């Protein structure tokens, strides 16, 4: 008998996946990390945000988006007026690339099965890609400002990665206007 939460997937299914992520040695990134970084937020969210890869702070704590970019993501989540159980944050890679370099195509491919499994267990209605690496990993292209329905019926959006807003602050207002437009997806 497995305990079951409202979303269908059981805690033991998440535990099993997380154990396999922690044990993964499929590429060399595991050699240089302090912690692997799996997820934060709900196991059964309406909205899943997909980032790129852990940075220095995330590597130190094991928590995604806990540094400077994370502050902007928190602000955005707050702006979106979602309840605590409504969202989750995961990354394309679970291991920090040295010096925060961009993940290689090979690393994205090697790590993709974990991303796919996380999305399958979480079964969100909305997937928000934070920038181009997440889009590449997810495998469906979507323009900025465009809402797309995936093959399995999920609503897909791509927005600026919070780190990209740090470099160009005017993007924050554009981002918020975009989120206003699609607010009905997570508030109704």
Structure tokens, 93: 């890679």
Of residues 11-70, those binding ligand URA (CB under 6 A): 51-55, 58, 64-65, 69
Which of these, 133, 137, 139, 188, lies nearest to 164 by C-alpha position? Answer: 133
Q: Which residue is nearest to ligand URA (CB)?
A: 51
Nearest to ligand URA of 50, 155 (CB atom): 50
Asked if 97 is part of the footprint of ligand URA (rule: CB under 6 A), the reply reads no
Distance, in Å, from the CA atom of 163 to the CA atom of 73, rounded to the nearest integer, reads 9
Long-range contacts of 68-74 (CB under 8 A, 24+ apart): 68/163, 68/166, 69/161, 69/162, 69/163, 69/166, 70/162, 72/162, 72/165, 72/166, 72/172, 73/49, 73/130, 73/162
Of residues 147-166, those binding ligand URA (CB under 6 A): 163
Nearest to ligand URA of 14, 49 (CB atom): 49
- Tell me the closest approach of the beta carbon of residue 51 to ligand URA, in angstroms: 3
- Tell me the closest approach of the beta carbon of residue 187 to ligand URA, in angstroms: 25
Distance, in Å, from the CA atom of 150 to the CA atom of 169, rounded to the nearest integer, reads 30
Helix (H) or strand (E) holding 130: strand 126-130
Read off φ and ψ for residue 107, nearest 5 degrees: -60, -40
- Tell me the closest approach of the beta carbon of residue 38 to ligand URA, in angstroms: 10
89 in Cβ contact with 9 (< 8 Å): no
Interface residue with ligand URA, options 9, 42, 91, 118 (CB under 6 A): 91
- Tell me the closest approach of the beta carbon of residue 107 to ligand URA, in angstroms: 13
Nearest to ligand URA of 80, 163 (CB atom): 163
Nearest to ligand URA of 45, 54 (CB atom): 54
Asked if 103 is part of the footprint of ligand URA (rule: CB under 6 A), the reply reads no
The residue count of the chain comes to: 188
Given the rule CB under 6 A, which residues bind ligand URA? 51-55, 58, 64-65, 69, 91, 163
């Amino acid at each position: 008998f497995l305990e079951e939460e409202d979303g269908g997937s059981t805690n033991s299914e998440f535990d099993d996946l997380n154990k396999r992520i922690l044990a993964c040695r499929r590429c060399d990134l595991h050699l240089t990390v302090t912690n692997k970084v799996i997820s934060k937020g709900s196991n059964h969210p309406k909205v899943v945000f997909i980032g790129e890869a852990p940075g220095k702070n995330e590597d130190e704590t094991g928590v995604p988006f806990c540094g400077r970019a994370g502050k902007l993501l928190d602000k955005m989540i707050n702006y979106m007026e979602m309840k605590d159980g409504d969202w989750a944050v995961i990354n394309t890679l679970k291991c920090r690339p040295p010096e925060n370099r961009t993940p290689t195509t090979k690393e994205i491919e090697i790590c993709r099965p974990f991303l796919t499994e996380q999305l399958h267990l979480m079964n969100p209605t909305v997937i928000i890609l934070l920038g181009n690496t997440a889009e590449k990993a997810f495998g469906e292209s979507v323009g900025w400002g465009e809402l797309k329905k995936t093959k399995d019926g999920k609503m897909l959006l791509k927005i600026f990665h919070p780190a990209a807003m740090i470099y160009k602050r005017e993007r924050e207002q554009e981002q918020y206007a975009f989120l206003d437009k699609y607010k009905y997806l997570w508030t109704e």
